[in-house]
Amino acid sequence: KQEVTQIPAALSVPEGENLVLNCSFTDSAIYNLQWFRQDPGKGLTSLLLIQSSQREQTSGRLNASLDKSSGRSTLYIAASQPGDSATYLCAVRGRPGAGSYQLTFGKGTKLSVIP
């Protein structure tokens, strides 16, 4: 059974700092990996989707990398801003076949960017 871990559970950084959020998974046979942002009381917003054949994706100040062999993904946030404060979750989808429609979510990293 796939397990997804995000460490640390919470992170506090000063504004302007570059930071890295980590996501690890136990089964490297994945279809894709997706990073989400969740603001308090809100739904999940998709940030980046990395297919299994890709090594990274970029959107603005965000860069996500994928290393299937080591079972790891990182989300890099450049020049952090107070508006980046939210909980960040990663989710892994298995390859087509049994259970492939079920994503496995990490429990998230709660990021606070201090002005």
Partner 1 sequence: NAGVTQTPKFQVLKTGQSMTLQCAQDMNHNSMYWYRQDPGMGLRLIYYSASEGTTDKGEVPNGYNVSRLNKREFSLRLESAAPSQTSVYFCASTGWVGELFFGEGSRLTVL
> Among the candidate windows 16-24, 33-41, 56-64, 70-78, which touches partner 1 by CB under 8 A?
33-41
Q: Does 105 bind partner 1 (CB under 8 A)?
A: yes
Q: Are strands 19-25 and 10-14 parallel, antiparallel or unpaired?
A: unpaired
Q: Residue 93 pairs with which residues in a beta bridge?
A: 32, 103
CA distances from 93 to 18, 34, 98, 106 (A): 28, 8, 11, 12
> Among the candidate windows 10-18, 44-52, 59-67, 72-80, which touches partner 1 by CB under 8 A?
44-52
Q: Does 91 bind partner 1 (CB under 8 A)?
A: yes
Nearer to partner 1 among residue 15 and residue 110 (C-beta) = 110
Please identify which residue in 42, 61, 67, 112 interacts with partner 1, judged by CB under 8 A: 42
**Can you tell me the distance from the alpha carbon of 3 to that of 59, in angstroms, rounded to the nearest whole number?**
26
Please identify which residue in 12, 18, 45, 112 interacts with partner 1, judged by CB under 8 A: 45
For the chain, counts of helices (H) and of strands (E): 0, 11
